[in-house]
Amino acid sequence: MKSTELNLIPIFVAIYEEQNLSKAAARMDISQPAVSKALAKLRDIYDEPLFHRTTSGVEPTAFASDIYPAMSAALKNFTSTLSASRDFDPKTSNRIFSIACVSAASYELMPKLMNLISQTAPNIALEIHPLFTEDYESDLRLQRHDIIVDMTPRGRTMLKHETISTEELVVVCREDHPTIGDSMDIEEFLTHDHVVVSRWHARKSLLSAEDSQELEKRRIVYRAAGVVEMMPVIENSDYIGMLPMSSVRCFGNKYKLKTLPLPFDLEDLDMCMIWHPSRTNEPSHKWLRCKLKAAAKEVMSQ
């Protein structure tokens, strides 16, 4: 379909939903001959019959029913971007923003974000999802999520991202560990069994050899759903793990743990917000990104 023929999509949707050419023409505010001409053009494009005439109008063929969901979704996505671009006012908006984030960001950052939003936009809501995705581009393009909060994307990507915070990593073990003192070297680090945060859909840890070759040598015995889920496992065993210092600050009083510096060089982790470039100039999305940066700044200053 050529770009000049994209105007056929709303006409098709109108015919399908009204099942009458006259009603579709009235809904689109165009003439019935224009609707008939558009329908003929669509038949030529698909080389398939789309509607059968009935005594009361038309009824869709099986092929038309097959393509309707995609056509309707395309139209809704387009009109929603227009509405979001033109009509967004945080004081009166009832938008629900969807954010998928790593667990380390969900305990401090997301509540702080909600707190900032509620001060100026009382009717806006958030949906916070675990990062159960391996296809960021698809999820963001289809607007399953408005923003993803994760570590800096690796490799080439067409997605936009911006660092909002930096996480210091530390080694964590139980407070009364029988063999670990106040520090450890790399040999001792690799001697102990490890608890890690798992990546969804993959038997991988959140940190891997791509971050440091030393991590490839670990013996991993437990893959937890998130950083908080690691803590009771470590508290009740001789296992060790690596956690962001912010998570230890949040939950250190609940679990009897102690922290040690990493025994090897590893850069601090940049936490990023990631979004689809089609949303960059959308006022509501710009507003959300601004609030997310402000929330991250407040968390970092604590």
pLDDT tens, 17-52?
Answer: 999 999 999 988 888 999 999 999 999 888 889 999
Give the range of the structural domain holding residue 57, as residue numbers without chain letter.
7-84
Residue among 179, 189, 176, 183 at smallest CA distance from 236? 176
Would you state the pLDDT for residue 21? Answer: 92
Q: Is residue 2 part of a domain?
A: no
DSSP structural state of residue 118 = H
The answer to whether residues 154 and 176 belong to one domain is no
Question: Is residue 7 over pLDDT 90?
Answer: no
260 near 170, Cβ under 8 Å? Answer: yes
User: Does residue 103 or residue 194 have the better pLDDT?
Assistant: 194
> Using 50, 70 and 90 to split pLDDT, how confident is the model at 204?
very low
The answer to whether residues 37 and 70 belong to one domain is yes
The count of domains in the chain is 3
The answer to whether residues 177 and 252 belong to one domain is yes
The answer to whether residues 263 and 276 belong to one domain is no
Which whole number is the average pLDDT over 275-293? 92
Instruction: Quote the tokens at residue 291.
Output: 């609030």
**What CATH number is associated with residue 138?**
3.40.190.10
Burial 259-280 (b: 16+ CB within 10 A, else e): bbebbeeeeebebbbbbbeebe
Q: What span, in angstroms and rounded, lies between the C-alpha atoms of 279 and 9?
A: 22
User: Does residue 291 or residue 134 have the better pLDDT?
Assistant: 291
Q: Is residue 91 part of a domain?
A: no
Q: Is residue 22 part of a domain?
A: yes
The answer to whether residues 207 and 123 belong to one domain is no
The highest-confidence range among 104-108, 112-116, 181-185, by mean pLDDT, is: 112-116
pTM: 0.66
Question: Is residue 144 over pLDDT 60?
Answer: yes
Question: Is residue 205 over pLDDT 50?
Answer: no
DSSP bridge partners of 275: 160
Q: What span, in angstroms and rounded, lies between the C-alpha atoms of 212 and 242?
A: 13
DSSP structural state of residue 134 = S
Q: What span, in angstroms and rounded, lies between the C-alpha atoms of 69 and 60?
A: 13
Q: What span, in angstroms and rounded, lies between the C-alpha atoms of 74 and 184?
A: 56
Would you state the pLDDT for residue 4? Answer: 56
**What CATH number is associated with residue 78?**
1.10.10.10
Q: What span, in angstroms and rounded, lies between the C-alpha atoms of 48 and 102?
A: 46
Question: Is residue 130 over pLDDT 90?
Answer: no
Q: Is residue 1 part of a domain?
A: no
Q: Is residue 89 part of a domain?
A: no
The answer to whether residues 136 and 277 belong to one domain is yes
pLDDT tens-digit profile of 192-202?
999 998 765 44
Count of CB atoms within 10 A of residue 146's CB? 24
Diameter over CA atoms, the chain: 86
Which whole number is the average pLDDT over 144-157? 86
The highest-confidence range among 89-93, 171-175, 205-209, by mean pLDDT, is: 171-175
